[in-house]
Amino acid sequence: MNILTRSLVRHAHAIARESSARAVLVSADVIEEEQDLPALIEDVAFRVILVTRRDQVQVPEGWGDCCQVVRVPDVAMTRAGQVKVAILVAAAEGLIAQGDRVVCVTGLDRSGTIDTMMVLDLGQEIEMFGGSTAEPLPSGVTPAVFQRLLTLASELGLEGREGRPVGTLFVVGDSDNVQAQSRQLVMNPFRGYPEDERNVLDPRLEETIKEFSAIDGAFIVRGDGVLLSAGRYLVPVAKLDEPLPQGLGTRHEAAAAVTVATDALALCVSQSTGTVSIFRRGKLIADIQKPRGGSGDGL
């Protein structure tokens, strides 16, 4: 482990203790050698959340509840995007909550050097968990379903479909109310299939979902992952209290509005930029931008 990494991680430990932080988020994918991770955690000597795309990264033996692993989509993201996703997933799994302070240390994947530190107060410095978005997931939506939809949306935003950019929308949770405030644009391709054959958690369904992402309208997903419909046109009864940030279009407006009228969460993929925007209670709680050149080097 190089001097810069060790020094920055030790400073993160000191800042976390002095500022009463909830945890230190460490980007595990920066570290080249798996055997360096236990030493890195020991340097932190604080509650650690390891952020990784890799299945083989596990909590080092003996660390128990002092260390958890959060897995993020295996797609190129900016460092800021990866931090946002990690915080959302950690909140969905109940590891952090509104009002917590979190110290994040990260760097370029596989560089072996942690070179960036951020101190975030959830609900203040960043948009996440402010006001009515204290609970990131609607009732009945499991963290696994949220993570799977986040992965699908991120992949579509980065890769498009067959080389062409696509814009699409996933609405998950409170599905009865969402269905009542929407209508079919085309015949529902999922109608009539057994539930166990149309669950987003089934990896065999990935290509089908990506193929149908080219259809206008939204995917409606039940909290347990069952796909109820695709090609759904949203007609939410509620209106937004405040306009969305400049540059967001009608798909984003419909996504935000349906989360006002229902207890749902919406993930909207922009066709023009590939950015994934996540809405809850009518608010943009996170936006995950596609890195320039798809490299993930930028902040």
- The predicted pLDDT at position 248 comes to 87
For the cut 60, the answer to whether the pLDDT of residue 132 exceeds it is no
What mean pLDDT, rounded, does the chain reach? 86
- Compute and round to an integer the Cα radius of gyration of the chain: 19
Picking from 161, 155, 168, 144, the residue whose alpha carbon sits closest to that of residue 73 is 155
User: pTM of the entire structure?
Assistant: 0.83
Q: What is the pLDDT of residues 202-257, one digit of tens each?
A: 999 999 999 999 999 999 999 999 999 999 999 999 888 888 888 788 999 999 99
Q: Which of 126-135, 176-185, 200-209 has the lowest mean pLDDT?
A: 126-135
Q: What is the pLDDT of residues 272-288, one digit of tens each?
A: 999 999 998 888 888 88
Domains and CATH numbers, the chain: 3-130 (3.40.1380.20), 143-294 (3.40.1700.10)
- Which of the four pLDDT bands, split at 50, 70 and 90, describes residue 46? confident
CB 58 within 8 A of CB 32: no
